[in-house]
Amino acid sequence: MFEDMIPRVEEAIELSRTWAENGWKMQFGPKNAEIVSLKQAEALPVSFIYREEAVNYWHQVHLMGNDAADSGEKAAEALKIGDVDAAEKALYLSSYIERPYENYTTAWKSLYEMFKNKAAACT
């Protein structure tokens, strides 16, 4: 019933693991210095006044992306064995973790909504 979602979940897992690497447009400081990834933030000179803020932000994105992906892996495993309840909980957690970055990525939110719609159609 939910087998077609497994590849989508696996794709979202890979996407989440690279949030900080692939990044998105993010601006720091009153001059709106654009720093789009953890790698770029870490490459900034130590004298750059907003370097620490940018590194901290992108490091947090890295951690949250991995947390969302870890939960996504649990969802994928649950879907493979047909444990709908566990899959729903794991997808919800991934979408919750993604929420602070919803202006930049909504992979988990859309997967969770798709899952809920499929589940509702089956009842």
Q: In this structure, is residue 122 part of a structural domain?
A: no
pTM listed for this prediction:
0.93
Tally of structural domains, the chain: 1
Q: How far apart are CA 4 and CA 7, in angstroms?
A: 7
Q: In this structure, is residue 47 part of a structural domain?
A: yes
Q: In this structure, is residue 123 part of a structural domain?
A: no
Q: Quote the pLDDT of residue 122.
A: 81
Nearest to 79 by CA among 70, 88, 67: 88
Q: How far apart are CA 63 and CA 41, in angstroms?
A: 15
Residue range of the domain that includes 81: 3-116
Q: In this structure, is residue 22 part of a structural domain?
A: yes
**pLDDT string in tens for the chain (123-residue length):** 788 999 999 999 999 999 999 999 999 999 899 999 999 999 999 999 999 999 999 999 999 999 999 999 999 999 999 999 999 999 999 999 999 999 999 999 999 999 999 988 886
Q: In this structure, is residue 85 part of a structural domain?
A: yes
Q: In this structure, is residue 121 part of a structural domain?
A: no
Rg (CA), the chain: 17
Q: For residues 78 and 61, is the Cβ–Cβ distance under 8 A? A: no
Q: How far apart are CA 39 and CA 73, in angstroms?
A: 25
